[in-house]
């Protein structure tokens, strides 16, 4: 298969972790006889520095005309520490999601057998966890009307959802549940929020189209608690943007390190694959960041084209590297650790 892949390395550790994913993907392409055409483009703070825009038109054109996007991370302390900055790296991320129509963020949460004791949670609680969140990505409070009034002393943000937006996300959730253990949990706050009541009503109306899927409805505060108490009780969870943002970071604790968890953002025409972590600026340029979240995001990219053998080859070699202790310092616990680039080389050579 020939794939054109837009490569948005971004800021901080982005370029370093992306380099390792490219090495691994190229090794997979060689082994399985695919042709990968990488198309690098600017984004984030580095794009602001270069052309004054965190998501330049040229980058959008490259993304929109590719088969998929592999994304590193964006963000720089000079913007984090300056809330008054008019142009910001995150604006690029939000604009990219909107312009590419990336409406569903898919975040699998699972445990790695060799790392289970590194999780801050007890083994018996998390063993066997294999759940996936589908977070709505282009609606809700992050995109609603906001502002200040009363001379700046009152601030407001509004959460708006349309039935269509909910159906589009829920459809993906039902389809995913059908392929997995046929359990779907709709996470909302329907006892308080009108937008949540529309979520619940919409998903309830869709149940009849997926008779094999058993749907539960839970309040977000209860899920926040049960997620770390009994994560294996969940399979597919669907939720709106803000709740999903918070719950998916909470879920990442189950697997033990931010450096491990991949994600995909699905659109109607194109999907984007990215680690869940940010640009970890303290580690930028040091060759110490864990590249596995990005490498596993690349595995999801192959899954996206139904190349499941290729995706499995990546997951297998990642698990092997973990069992053999070929790990970056975040997982080494004071023992021997490897550089980001060494882990990438090891993975590529073992594909
Ligand atoms: N999608 C994105 O691009 C994205 C997501 C979150 C944060 N950000 C941005 O990233 C910058 C830093 O934010 P932050 O510090 O809150 O989050 P972060 O994910 O960059 O880092 C938080 C902590 O997680 C750990 N970590 C993260 N990635 C790791 C890796 N690959 N290997 C090992 N450990 C890793 C480190 O201990 C780090 O201190 C900010 O500018 C923020 O806006 C970007």
Arithmetic mean of pLDDT over the chain: 95
Residue 215: which domain range? Answer: 120-255
280 and 236 housed in the same domain: no
Task: Answer with the one of 255, 289, 324 that is the final residue of a domain.
Answer: 255
- Angstrom distances, CA of residue 30 to CA of 34, 213, 225, 238, 310: 7, 39, 45, 37, 11
Best probe residue, ligand 1, of 279, 284, 295 (max atoms within 8 Å of C-beta): 279
Task: Answer with the one of 192, 220, 255 that is the final residue of a domain.
Answer: 255
Distance in angstroms (rounded) separating the CA atoms of residues 317 and 218: 37
Overall residue count recorded for the chain in this entry = 351
Residue 64 has pLDDT above 90, yes or no: yes
Q: Which residues line ligand 1 (CB under 6 A)?
A: 13, 17, 73-76, 80, 90, 258-259, 277-281, 289-290, 293, 330
Residue nearest to atom 39 of ligand 1 (CA): 280
- The pLDDT tens digits of the residues spanning 73-101 come to 999 999 988 878 889 999 999 899 889 99
Which of these, 316, 319, 270, 261, lies nearest to 64 by C-alpha position?
270
105 and 130 housed in the same domain: no
Q: How far apart are the first and last CA of the chain?
A: 18
Which of these, 76, 55, 57, 77, lies nearest to 8 by C-alpha position?
55
177 and 202 housed in the same domain: yes
Q: Contact 15/79 with Cβ under 8 angstroms?
A: no
CATH number of the domain enclosing 307:
3.40.718.10
Residue nearest to atom 23 of ligand 1 (CA): 280
- The pLDDT tens digits of the residues spanning 47-60 come to 999 999 999 999 99
Query: Is the whole model's pTM more than 0.75, yes or no?
Result: yes
Task: For residue 184, report the phi and psi dihedrals to the nearest 5 degrees.
Answer: -130, 135
Task: Answer with the one of 255, 287, 313 that is the final residue of a domain.
Answer: 255
């Amino acid at each position: 298969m020939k794939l054109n892949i837009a490569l948005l390395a971004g800021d901080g550790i982005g370029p370093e972790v992306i380099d390792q994913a490219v090495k691994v993907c190229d090794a997979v392409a060689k082994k399985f006889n695919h042709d990968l055409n990488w198309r690098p483009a600017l984004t984030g703070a580095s794009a602001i520095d270069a052309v004054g825009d965190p998501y330049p038109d040229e980058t959008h054109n490259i993304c929109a005309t590719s088969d998929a996007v592999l994304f590193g991370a964006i963000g720089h302390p000079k913007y984090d520490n300056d809330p008054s900055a008019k142009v910001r790296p995150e604006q690029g991320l939000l604009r990219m999601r909107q312009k590419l129509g990336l409406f569903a963020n898919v975040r699998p949460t699972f445990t790695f057998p060799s790392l289970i004791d590194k999780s801050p949670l007890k083994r018996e609680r998390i063993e066997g966890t294999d759940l996936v969140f589908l977070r709505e990505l282009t609606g809700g409070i992050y995109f609603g009307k906001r502002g200040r009034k009363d001379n700046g002393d009152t601030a407001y943000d509004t959460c708006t959802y349309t039935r269509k937006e909910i159906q589009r996300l829920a459809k993906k959730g039902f389809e995913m549940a059908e392929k997995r253990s046929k359990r779907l949990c709709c996470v909302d706050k329907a006892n308080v929020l009108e937008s949540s009541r529309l979520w619940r009503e919409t998903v309830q109306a869709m149940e009849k189209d997926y008779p094999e899927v058993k749907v539960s409805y839970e309040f977000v505060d209860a899920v926040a608690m049960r997620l770390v108490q009994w994560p294996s009780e969940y399979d597919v969870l669907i939720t709106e943007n803000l709740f999903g943002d918070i719950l998916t970071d909470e879920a990442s604790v189950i697997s033990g390190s931010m450096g491990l968890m991949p994600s995909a953002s699905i659109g109607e025409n194109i999907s984007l694959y990215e680690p869940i972590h940010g640009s970890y600026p303290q580690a930028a340029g040091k060759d110490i960041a864990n590249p596995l979240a990005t490498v596993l995001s690349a595995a999801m990219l192959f899954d996206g084209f139904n190349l499941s053998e290729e995706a499995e080859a990546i997951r297998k070699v990642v698990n092997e590297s973990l069992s053999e202790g070929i790990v970056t310092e975040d997982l080494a616990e004071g023992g021997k650790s490897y550089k980001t680039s060494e882990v990438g080389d090891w993975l590529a050579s073992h594909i």
